[in-house]
Structure 1
Amino acid sequence: MPYRFVVASALLLLSSLCMAQGPAPAISYTRDIQPIFTEKCVACHACYDSACQLNLGSGEGASRGASKIPVYDGERSDAQAPTRLFYDASGKAAWQRQGFYSVLDAQGSQAALMARMLELGHRTPLQPNAKLPSDIVLGLSRENMCPQPGEFDAYAGAHPKEGMPLAVTGLSDQQYQTLQRWLASGAPIDEQGLAPSARESLQVAQWENLLNAPGARESLVARWLYEHWFLAHIYFEGGEPGHFFQWVRSRTPSGQPIDLINTRRPNDDPGTQVYYRLWPVQGVIVHKTHITYPLSAAKMARVKTLFYSGDWQVNALPGYGPARRANPFETFEAIPAKARYQFMLDNAEYFVRTFIRGPVCRGQIATDVIRDNFWALFQAPEHDLYITDPAYRGQATPLLAMPGQNDDVGSVLSLWLAYRDKRNEYEALRRDFYAEAPAPSWSSLWAGNDNALLSIFRHFDSASVTKGLIGEVPQTMWLFDYPLLERTYYQLAVNFDVFGNVSHQAQTRLYFDLIRNGAEQNFLRLMPAGTREDFLDDWYQNSGKFKMWLDYESIDDGKRSALKLDLKDPKKDFANQLLARYGELNAKPDPINRCDGAYCSRPNIDPALQDAEQALSRLASRPAAGLRVIEQLPEATLLRVQAPSGKREFYSMLRNRAHSNVAFMLGESLRYQPGLDTLTIFPGILSSYPNFMFNVPAEQVPAFVQAMQEARDAASFEKVVERWGIRRSHPQFWQYFHDQTRYLQETDPVEAGVLDMNRYENL
């Protein structure tokens, strides 16, 4: 029977039932529909990587509908028009002019596309907690199948088990009936935009007044601040829970409705007078794009002290264009470099998150430039020659330009070679100037607040950043100075165009390789001079040696370090001394992975959870050659442990893949060293994209650990999954999945957001 008749019959039955019981209350999108979308749909339908660009985090997104054109496409020869929700168009008609089609509108005698997709999913439920059929493709390898209304019957015939929600425990009967009633009534949307509270409005006005103050110096600082805040979800001290704002450029001043200037990049020519405005973030907050930044009276005082306390002047405001985008060091040269760097250091976690966790780091090609786990440190401003030595700064600035402004496909190689050579000229200049500077010591490291020590984890096609030094001592560490931190931010956040073509994206990725190498070289200056080449040989094995010869400037292996380190293992000794010296800045101590005594758990937690952590430590920081189950694990697994007291904890189980090197854009699997993979286990949720979840009562954690230790192949691991795993088909899947968000709301409410399940695997 054709699906349109099945849906019509179902809707007729629902209508008859409603008439028999009296008129049903009117359905409210805000009260009744968005909560269902938030619970069952947003985990797959949010942000740029929404399936078919269907974003169900707001009424505007639902009304916009779907598109066959993917945002993430590393092969397109031409840049595509941006389709940023709330930004590049407004209203259904405007979006349809950009190629979107409705999923809410009935099509003649046919029900709405969403109604038919939901009916297909509801009539083919999954076998409870069973592994899904292998013909259902999931994850980033899934083809972007986006049938238009007239193509639904063909889709349903070819994919009868792939209705919505896709390959996961579906809607409850009540949710299904509510959605179908709403769709049958024409899918009205009564959503009201988020508005600031009275206290927030006052703070909005104060900050807008600051950034829109008259004067050339004020205008240049405001432009720099905007370009460093445009990705932030701003929240105010004393603001309403769940209220966030973003900085935008408007044609209208404060007090008037925002008239958005929607350029592709935040540093494109606005073409008119600019007013910097704070705009409430609309829709459901999702974790993967929720990069927070606090504003307060103290922050305003800090900004004024950093940028307005000196007597520096602006002779002429810089213009816009490719040259200005390529070299922000020249564009903002008038602003004291110390102020710029110190501002970024104050909230270093935010800035590193923008380029590690932001849109550029979606997909393996974007992330395979970094190791699976490393620590990031920062050079103290008073030891940064770019800050302290005007002669060095003057010679270095012209060499700090970045590629990606010219996206001519035919010029990729020549552009890359030109920027590579300019970067290497800078590295040689840096090496020579630092050779004459005092030897680096512990005072060379910035230790201003708990942003000073960061841990980065790559989860194959995504990555995360967390304060504190987490996990075993990593193979590599990065040391940022100001030129490196600012270049990384501009290259991967400000200048990166997620809608750009293959040339732009390739240039960005290739330059990121040089950035990583620069951060490693900065760190090696801290190691004893005679050991640096040995470290490089370890980091760039096999084909990596060819890349070192081909593309990287040689390091200084003669200038001594003032650090007194054990020559047998200087990196480990450095890590131990770092933890001892800066323990008060280490936001999240890690006894599970770096257990140095009999007790491998955190103090002052539920005793049952302490026992669980003690057991889990037996799995942590061991190479896969001795813990074979690592070969079966995905990149980011979450473990939910509940104590008899009712208290529960989530642990991130992160698989750290070892590589002979990470110097090339393609062929990553050829550089795997699977026997050296390790597992990091840490309290909390360290990924926006969980790949799987286990639910283990605290008293069963020792049995879980033993089973993991004994699971040496796929068959034995499947028994672990069957006993403790939460598969996509689990009857309580959504209860457990959203308990992750509840946990975030309880432990770190500012950072909480709905997690993404597009990468949740079919184990």
Structure 2
Amino acid sequence: MSLRASLALTMAFMLLAGGARAANISYSKDIQPIFTDKCVACHACYDSPCQLNLSAAEGAQRGANKLPVYNGSRTKAQDTTRLFLDAHGADAWRRKDFWSVLDARNGQAALMARMIDLGHNHPLVPNAKIPDGLDLSINRSNQCPTPDSIDDFVAKNPRSGMPFAVSGLSDQQYGTLKKWLAEGAPVDEQAWLPSAAEARQVNAWETFLNQRGARETLVSRWLYEHLFLAHLYFQDKGAPGHFFQLVRSRTPSGVPIDPIPTRRPNDDPGVEFYYRLWPIQGVIVHKTHITYPLSPAKLAHTRELFFSGDWTTDKVPGYGLQHRANPFETFAAIPARARYQFMLDNAEYFVRTFIRGPVCRGQIATDVIRDNFWTFFQDPDHDLYITDPVYRAKATPLLALPGQIDDMSQMLQQWTAYRDKRNEYEALRLDTYEDAPAPTWADIWRGNDNALLSIFRQYDSASVRKGLIGGVPQTMWWMDYPLLERTYYGLVVNFDVFGNVSHQAQTRLYFDLIRNGAEQNFLRLMPVAERPKLLDDWYQSSGKLKMWLDYQNVENDAPSDLGLPEHGAKGAFASQLLSRFASLNARPDPINLCQSGACYRPQVSRPLQDAEQAFSRLSGRPAAGLKVIDFLPEATMLRVEMADGKREIYTVLRNRAHSNVAFMLGESLRYQPGLDTLTIYPGVLSSYPNFMFSLKAEEAGDFVSALEQAKDQAGFEQVVEHWGIRRSNPQFWTYFHDLDAYLREFEPVEAGILDMNRYENL
């Protein structure tokens, strides 16, 4: 054979092979990686536009639906549409009014093909602001075109293609998706299975949770209701990226799981069931990734905690309204110390569940909290609900939670009844603690590094971190067991994201009472003379009206025995807390809590030390003296590059100030913009980056100076032009996913795809 003939044959073979590969695109190897790279950052969880969830094949095949999950004004609860739970297979989702985005119809290309064509044919101007007319707000009204309306949508919205208002698909990604859709969008995704080591631990936990007997059944139910939201992982020999969900299944261990999709975890399952550990499928997204570790040691500790005592019970409560409303009565037979200690051991997990938990998007609950505060806990040996059975018996009936009855006509009646119960409890608590010894530093729990937590609110989302981060906050929470458990049940177990306005309003209003209770519990640590001053600062203006309307009067002269000065007591408390609990403070913060003048981490390289020293000039300064704060969004990421090619990520959080946070409506009327401050800390502290700047370490001083000199919008835009990463940046996704990479490098268990729905058009 001649060389020419040989080459021709080789070329023909290569073309045939290439055609075969093109005709055999793999969903798992070729398509899901594209979705993960360019789509999941918006299309995941309940806040996916049009409920199109592209974190797994099941979501892509489910398709889209026009009803938003987040709707704070609906008068009737909505049917649940939870992926993997409420329907299985495309046909079942069609019966729930989801339409396909993958199927061609009547000779027309699939809806997804039309949308990515639109994006591909109308690319953004590189590095420019997004054109006017494209609504990027989190509260935008998504149009959700159907196969019948797509022609009209394309004609009227030429710049609304996918990915929406961001640097788009590469030519290769676009071509691969188009070919896959033209071939009928076949899916080869296979569910991952636990490794042998994981399977042994799964079996051990399922055996423990499915023990028979009234005592064992009651404990397992309590554990399930406290772990159902967790992404469980095995600390010992668990495979990276493998997480499990605790579910109730119709089937026992050893056979495939058949989950029971009740609306809430404490609803009646209706049939005999078994607790199972179900592998979590699909792409892990950071906003729903609330992790909890399991291990043989944890299992032994749990068994010891709940079953070492001689307590007994001969019955297991049902799932009626009262049992759902008052977990303190439902689980009264379980020693209160065991319940509280279990929550304290992993307090960060439990606070995360109700700060960034079942809602993905949190303003339904988060506008009841300050933008930044510290939380710590009452030691079990000094919590009278734990140690005084007479007080516990009196208090328990008063600790029921609202929201079970969502009848619109009964909303006010329900709310006032539960508010009055809560205030009766607060009066009982006040009287009981007045007769107890004065609190000392020993009253604050210091069992492990979950003892100190920092919470940051970013308008409609929030985050929790171990350790004391940021400057001394305006308020602090000191939580005891009744406060912690009620918050968890109110905002996690009993909260229904698909519920109506009555349910959501009752939940929100009661959380307001809990916040007030945690703040006023902290006041018990302050000198008597300082308490009214602090309370006046927390509840300014209309807050005083709320104090009169809904809060229990907790004025008392029971002393504190912490040895704090009468003037500046809160600052002195913070200083002593930092020193006394230094060994438990998971995140020392020299940038925002600089005391020696060296406002940087001593262990990092000199270029980063210099950068952090510069960043500290921005921390803690009120917006009245640092005008650029007015133009910064809630959560800004700084990507700092070093000469050796490494980089560090910092989060800049804007702490908005309010005269009070005591009302559901009118937040803008209570906003005090001149008092806004910034917190700057290494790492990724938010699931929802609002913007990113990228700079070299040696530019940090110039960057900070430019921010200090930006007195108006034009000055700020010059900073954005120089260092900003706009949505239209051709390398946007490289920068954005570098945040994910940073998490995988430094916090691999916590890593997940971040959300870009809130990335702003600066």
TM score, norm. by length of structure 1: 0.97
Q: Distance in 2 between matches of 1:598 and 1:509?
A: 42
- Deviation of 1:315 (Å): 2.1
> Root-mean-square deviation (CA), in Å?
1.1
What is aligned with 1:112? Answer: 110
1: CA distance, partners of 2:138 / 2:573? 39
SS of the residue 1:392 aligns to:
helix
| Residue identity matched to 2:71 | D
Q: Show the 5 A alignment for 1:309-320.
A: 309-320=308-319
Cα distance change on mapping 1:614 and 1:330 into 2, 3 Å: same
Q: Which residue of 1 aligns with 2:366?
A: 367
Q: Which residue is equivalent to 1:697? A: 696
Secondary structure of 2:594's counterpart equals: coil
- Give the match for residue 12 of structure 1: none
After superposition, the C-alpha distances for 1:163-185 in whole angstroms (9 at most, x for unaligned) are: 00000000000000000000000
Contact 2:364 2:504 in 1 (8 A): no
Residue 644 of structure 1 is matched in structure 2 by: 643
Once the two structures are superposed, the pairs formed by residues 346-385 of structure 1 within 5 Å of their partners are 346-360=345-359, 362-385=361-384
Distance 1:612 1:141 in 2: 36
Which residue does 2:7 correspond to in 1? none
Residues in 2 aligned to 1:284 and 1:745: alpha-carbon distance in whole angstroms: 14
Partner amino acid, structure 2, of 1:125: P
Instruction: Tell me the residue number matched to 1:761.
Output: 760
What CA deviation, in whole Å up to 9, does each residue of 1:266-289 have, x standing for no partner?
Answer: 000011112100000000000000
Aligned partner letter, 1:230 = F
8 Å CA contact retained: 1:42, 1:55: yes
Give the C-alpha shift of residue 94 in structure 1.
0.6
Q: Which residue of the partner structure matches residue 195 of structure 1?
A: 193
Superposed displacement of residue 158, structure 1: 1.5
The alpha carbon displacement at 1:598 in A equals 2.2
- Is the Cα contact below 8 Å between 2:47 and 2:360 reproduced in 1? no
Is residue 481 from structure 1 mapped to residue 480 from structure 2 by the alignment? yes
Alignment partner, residue 13 of structure 1: none
Matched with 2:143 is: 145
- The one-letter code sitting in structure 1 at the alignment partner of 2:220 is A
Does 1:634 find its partner at 2:651? Answer: no
> Does the CA contact (< 8 Å) of 2:38 and 2:163 recur in 1?
yes
CA contact (8 A) 1:349 1:454 kept: yes
Amino acid at match of 1:366: A
Inter-partner Cα distance in structure 2 for 1:156 and 1:653: 38
Partner amino acid, structure 1, of 2:732: F
CA contact (8 A) 2:287 2:360 kept: no
CA contact (8 A) 1:361 1:461 kept: no
Aligned pairs for 1:353-752 (under 5 A) are 353-360=352-359, 362-752=361-751
How far apart, CA to CA, are the structure 2 residues paired with 1:144 and 1:398?
45
1:339 corresponds in structure 2 to 338
User: For the Cα contact (< 8 Å) 2:626–2:708, is it kept in 1?
Assistant: yes
Quote the Cα distance in structure 2 between the aligned partners of 1:306 and 1:753.
Answer: 32
**Counterpart of 2:326?**
327
* Deviates most, 441-450 or 152-161: 152-161
Give 2:409's aligned amino acid: G
- Structure 1 residue 192 displacement after superposition: 0.2
What secondary structure does 1:140 align onto? coil
Q: Is the 8 A contact 1:44 1:50 kept in 2?
A: yes
Residues 471-513 of structure 1: per-residue CA shift (max 9 Å, x gap):
0000000011000100000000000000101100010001010
Relative distance call for 1:443 and 1:36 in structure 2 (3 A) is same
- With over 3 angstroms needed to count, the CA separation of the structure-2 counterparts of 1:149 and 1:525, relative to structure 1, is same
Shift of 1:150: 1.2
2:84 paired residue number: 86
User: What residue number does 1:306 align with?
Assistant: 305
CA contact (8 A) 2:99 2:146 kept: yes
Q: Is this contact kept in 2: 1:592–1:600, CA < 8 A?
A: yes
Within 5 Å, give how 1:235-254 maps onto structure 2. 235-237=233-235, 238-254=237-253
The 8 Å contact of residues 532 and 557 in structure 1, kept in 2 or not, is answered as no
Partner residue, 1:127? 125
What is aligned with 1:31?
A: 29
In structure 1, stretches of 5+ residues that fail to align are 1-16
Counterpart for residue 95 of structure 1:
93
Question: Which of 29, 45, 48 does residue 43 from structure 2 map onto?
Answer: 45
What corresponds to 2:216 in structure 1? 218
Preserved contact between residue 55 and residue 62 of structure 1 (Cα < 8 Å): yes
CA deviation vs aligned residue, 1:337-396 (integer Å, no higher than 9, x gap): 000000000000000000001134624342110000000010000000000000100000
Equivalent residues in 2 for 1:247-262, closer than 5 Å: 247-262=246-261
Equivalent pair of 1:360/1:492 in contact (CA under 8 Å): no
2-side partners of 1:94 and 1:139: how far apart? 32
User: Would you say how many aligned residue pairs link Structure 1 and Structure 2?
Assistant: 747
Aligned equivalents of 2:182 and 2:465: distance in 1?
A: 46
One-letter amino acid of the structure 1 residue matched with residue 588 of structure 2: P
Q: In 2, distance between residues paired with 1:177 and 1:360?
A: 35
CA contact (8 A) 2:366 2:457 kept: yes
The question of whether the paired residues in 2 share the 8 Å contact of 1:533 and 1:557 is answered with no
Q: Tell me by how many angstroms 1:687 deviates.
A: 0.5
Q: Is the 8 A contact 1:525 1:556 kept in 2?
A: no
Equivalent position amino acid for 1:600 in 2: C
Offset of 1:21 from its aligned partner? 6.8
Amino-acid identity (%) = 69
- Which of 50, 54, 64 aligns to 2:52? It is 54
How far 1:151 moved relative to its partner?
0.5
The answer to whether the 8 Å contact 2:657/2:672 transfers is: yes
1:74 aligns with 72
8 A Cα contact 1:105 1:112, kept in partner: yes
Q: CA 1:23–1:338 in structure 2 vs 1: closer, same or farther (change >3 Å)?
A: closer
The 3-state SS of whatever aligns with 1:466 is: strand
The offset of 1:69, in angstroms, is 0.7
* Map of 2:180 onto structure 1: 182
**Which residue of 2 is the match for residue 289 of structure 1?**
288
Distance in 2 (alpha carbons) for counterparts of 1:464 and 1:699: 30
User: Is the 1:236–1:295 Cα contact (8 Å) retained in structure 2?
Assistant: yes
Structure 1 position 752, deviation (Å):
0.1
User: What is the rounded CA distance, in whole Å, between the counterparts of 2:581 and 2:645 in structure 1?
Assistant: 35
Indicate if the aligned counterparts of 1:139 and 1:760 stay in contact, CA closer than 8 A.
no
- Map of 2:5 onto structure 1: none
What does the per-residue CA deviation read over 1:558-600, in whole Å, with 9 as the maximum and x for residues that have no partner?
0000011122200000000000000010000000001111211
Query: Does 2:273 correspond to 1:280?
Result: no
Whole-Å Cα distance in 2 between the matches of residues 649 and 459 of structure 1? Answer: 22
Query: Unpaired segments of 5 or more residues in structure 2?
Result: 1-13
Q: Which amino acid aligns with 1:717?
A: F
Which residue of structure 1 lines up, in the alignment, with residue 134 of structure 2?
A: 136
Contact 2:637-2:650 within 8 A present in 1 as well: yes
Task: Provide the secondary structure at the position in 2 that maps to 1:359.
Answer: coil
User: How far did 1:604 drift?
Assistant: 1.4
> What are the superposed Cα offsets for residues 15-44 of structure 1, whole Å, 9 maximum, x if unpaired?
xx9889744441000000000000000000
For 2:52, give the aligned amino acid. Answer: L
**Alpha-carbon spacing, 1:220–1:672, altered in 2? closer, same or farther (3 Å):** same
Displaced runs of 4 or more, over 6 A: 17-21
SS in 2 for 1:757: coil
1:159 deviates by 1.1
My pick for the range that moved more, 202-211 or 548-557, is 548-557
Q: Secondary structure at the match of 1:63?
A: helix
Counterpart residue type for residue 749 of structure 2 = V
Tell me how far apart the structure 1 counterparts of residues 187 and 365 of structure 2 sit (CA, whole Å): 38
Relative to structure 1, is the Cα distance of residues 457 and 18 closer, same or farther in structure 2, using a 3 angstrom cutoff? farther
Change over 3 Å in CA distance of 1:297–1:720 after alignment to 2: same
- SS of equivalent residue, structure 2 residue 482: helix
Distance 2:139 2:403 in 1: 27
With the length of structure 2 as denominator, give the TM-score of the two structures. 0.97
Distance 1:626 1:137 in 2: 32
